[in-house]
Amino acid sequence: MSRLDIAIWLVFRRELTLAWRRRADIVVPWVFFAIVVSLFPLAIGPEPQTLRTIGPGVVWVGALLATMLSLGHIFDTDYADGSLEQLALAPHPLSLLVLAKVAAHWVLAGLPLVLIAPLLAVQLQMDIASLDVLVASLLLGTPVMILIGSVGAALTLGLRGGGVLVSLLVLPLYTPVLIFGASAAMSATQGTSAEMQLSLLGAFLALSLTFAPWASAAALRISLD
């Protein structure tokens, strides 16, 4: 392994280790997601057709809100203890180190949402075919939201009320991901192909992987100056 590969692996492992020490912060978005999705059947009623119709949108809105709730944990701790400055001074591309942090954050905050979603979707009377597409759309969409959110988190780093500012910055950019993600599962529910929506989500993911780490690194350098 090269020194760059080792550095990326160490950053990734460090994020997982620190998250294990503050497990309560990581669990909050999962619980929030479960509560938001579970409340809709109670509020709307037990009518299966109604729940099946709104199910994909409910799950996706819950995942979007839970993702936004977790964005503050990407850089704040490193900024407070000074380790973010050490990353910026490291002889490795900051964008790749940021990508390692974002990947670890997705494993902690995004992947659990994908795993929980099918269990919650059962409450919304979604069938097996639509569950498969729902999981696929979340696998493609949640990394996009976290990558975009990392740019907003880097831009507002150290600012008072940064959490609110992050929400205002990233929410308009989340809208296309929300639309196509929910539309993919809804198409499966209606018995039509979701290939177009999943392809677009894949394109969003490719663009986000290309540009978001670079933009986040540039924003972090500005915030640290």
What's the pLDDT tens digit per position in 139-148? 999 999 999 9
Asked if 59 and 180 count as a contact pair (C-beta separation under 8 A), the reply is no
Tell me, letter by letter, the H, E, C secondary structure of the chain: CCHHHHHHHHHHHHHHHHHHHCHHHHHHHHHHHHHHHHHHHHHHCCCHHHHHHHHHHHHHHHHHHHHHHHHHHCCHHHHHHCHHHHHHHCCCCHHHHHHHHHHHHHHHHHHHHHHHHHHHHHHCCCCHHHHHHHHHHHHHHHHHHHHHHHHHHHHCCCCCCHHHHHHHHHHHHHHHHHHHHHHHHHHHHCCCCCHHHHHHHHHHHHHHHHHHHHHHHHHHHHHHC
Helix axis angle, 94-105 to 3-21, nearest 10°: 40
Per-residue pLDDT, 1: 65
Report the C-alpha gap between 28 and 40 in whole angstroms: 19
Report the C-alpha gap between 143 and 111 in whole angstroms: 9
> At CA 151, angle to CA 173 and CA 106, rounded to 5?
90
Per-residue pLDDT, 146: 94
Report the C-alpha gap between 145 and 106 in whole angstroms: 10
Per-residue pLDDT, 3: 79
- Which residue numbers in the chain have pLDDT < 50? none
Per-residue pLDDT, 112: 92
Per-residue pLDDT, 163: 67
Per-residue pLDDT, 181: 92
